[in-house]
Amino acid sequence: MLCLSDPSLLITQSLIGDAMCEGEQSWAVHNPATEQVIAQVRLVNEVSREVALVSAQAAQVDWAGLSGMARGQILRCWGDLMRANEQDLACLLTHEQGKPIVEARAEIAYAAAYFHWFAGEAERAYGRSLPAGDGKRYWVEPRPLGVVAAITPWNFPAAMLARKLAAAVAAGNGAIAKPALETPFSALAMVQLGIRAGLPAGLVNVLLTDQAEAMGAWFCREPGIAKITFTGSTAVGKWLLARAGAEVKPCTMELGGNAPFIVFADADLNAALEGFMACKFRNAGQTCISANRLLLQKSIAVEFLNLLRARLNTLHYGNGMSNGVNLGPLIHAKACKRLQEKIINAQNAGARVEWFGVDKREHSQGSFFVPALVTGVTPTMYLFTEESFGPVVAVTEFTTYEDAIELANKTQYGLAAYVYSQNITHINRCQRQLQFGMLGINDAHLSHVFAPFGGVKESGFGREGGLEGISHYQSQQFVAWGNNF
Q: Which residues are catalytic?
A: 254, 288
Distance separating alpha carbons of residues 388 and 335, to the nearest angstrom? 9
Q: Residue 124 in 3-state DSSP?
A: coil
Q: What type of residue sits at position 357?
A: G
Compute the distance between CA of residue 293 and CA of residue 384 in angstroms, rounded to an integer.
6
Provide the 10 A C-beta neighbour count for residue 320. 27
CA distance 405 to 56: 47
Q: CA-CA distance, 435 to 416, in Å (whole number)?
A: 9
**Pick from 66, 167, 70, 155: nearest CA to 115:** 167
- Taking the CA of residue 207 as centre, how many other CA atoms within 13 Å lie in the half-sphere pointing to its CB? 29
Pairing of strands 128-130, 137-144: antiparallel
Phi-psi region of 457 (alpha: psi -120 to 50; beta: other; left: phi over 0): left
Backbone angles phi, psi at 287, to 5 degrees: -135, 150
**Residues 140, 476: contact at Cβ < 8 Å?**
yes
Q: Are 239 and 251 in contact (CB under 8 A)?
A: no
Provide the b/e sequence for 28-49 (b: ≥16 CB within 10 Å): ebbbbbbeeebbebbbbeeebb
Q: Which long-range contacts (CB under 8 A, 24 or more apart) does 479-484 make?
A: 479/137, 479/138, 479/139, 479/140, 479/141, 480/136, 480/137, 480/138, 481/136, 481/137, 481/138, 482/135, 482/136, 483/135, 483/136, 483/137, 484/134, 484/135
The Cα 292–Cα 185 span in angstroms is 29
